[in-house]
Chains A and B, each alone.
Chain A
């Protein structure tokens, strides 16, 4: 069975602090994809990053960075020097299922960045 766990329900930080959002996944498939999405108060889900199971390279994009570790089944997301505009719910997602392309989401982490 596939599962995505985001243990942090809510995180509150002060602007300019660094913050890491945790994601742990479960799947028996050897080929899968992991994603992070942002859902601001407006409600639309915005794609941030994609990683496939064969690519464990970490990635940095501006203030965002992602750490993928297959050994611990984790795909963590770090925001450096957080800003108020980063306040949103962040979802980690897992795509598996070979031919079916099933995409499931974790429970989400609400990030509140205080000025």
Chain B
């Protein structure tokens, strides 16, 4: 059974039209991550939550926002998608450092196309 679920798997959006990607988890992990991965590149950390504490990367554009209303769900909002935002978006969860098994578990990703 999938433990980190991302919806939708594929998303097509128009240039400039706000889009929301969702992630849910059944693992009850207190850390959740959002990564952007472009073709043939490494996953790039956009931001992450430790419980309700939000940690934004310095180079994450303001165009990207996130919400975590509860432990199980996390959302990535792209306010005005540009062509350069087309990518695979990966959600991951983990236990916090110091807890047993702090490796991250990844969802299958949402492939975003901007037209």
Contact between chains at A35 and B42 (CB < 8 Å): no
Cα–Cα, bound, A50→B35 (Å): 20
Cα–Cα, bound, A100→B55 (Å): 7
**Is the C-beta of A41 less than 8 angstroms from some C-beta in chain B?**
no
Contact between chains at B94 and A101 (CB < 8 Å): yes
CB contact list, A35-92 vs B, under 8 A: 35, 43-45, 47, 50, 91
Q: When the two chains form the complex, which single residue of B45, B50, B98, B101 contacts A104, counting CB atoms closer than 8 Å?
A: B45
Cα–Cα, bound, A33→B97 (Å): 8
Q: Distance (Å) between the CB of B20 and the closest chain A CB? A: 21
Contact between chains at A99 and B50 (CB < 8 Å): yes
Could you give 19 example pairs across A and B, Cβ below 8 Å?
A: A33-B97, A33-B102, A35-B103, A43-B88, A43-B108, A47-B103, A47-B104, A91-B42, A95-B104, A97-B55, A98-B97, A99-B53, A101-B31, A101-B48, A101-B94, A101-B102, A103-B92, A105-B43, A105-B45
With a cutoff of 8 Å between Cβ atoms, the chain A residues found around residue B50 in the complex are 99-101
Contact between chains at B105 and A50 (CB < 8 Å): no
Cα–Cα, bound, A99→B53 (Å): 10
Cα–Cα, bound, A105→B46 (Å): 12
Contact between chains at A100 and B53 (CB < 8 Å): yes
- How many A-B pairs have beta carbons closer than 8 Å: the answer is 66
Cα–Cα, bound, A108→B31 (Å): 23
Chain B residues touching A, majority SS? strand
Asked, given contacts A31-B97, A43-B88, whether A102 binds B104 with beta carbons under 8 Å apart, the answer is no
Cα–Cα, bound, A1→B27 (Å): 30
Which B residues fall within an 8 A CB radius of A? 31, 33, 35, 41-45, 48, 50, 53, 55, 88, 90, 92, 94, 96-98, 101-106, 108-109
Nearest chain A residue, comparing its CB with the CB of B99: A101
Contact between chains at A44 and B94 (CB < 8 Å): no
Q: When the two chains form the complex, which single residue of A44, A103, A106, A107 contacts B104, counting CB atoms closer than 8 Å?
A: A103
Q: Besides A45-B90, A47-B103, A101-B102, 16 other CB < 8 A contacts?
A: A31-B97, A33-B97, A45-B92, A95-B97, A99-B50, A101-B31, A101-B97, A103-B33, A103-B94, A103-B104, A104-B45, A105-B35, A105-B43, A106-B42, A107-B42, A108-B41
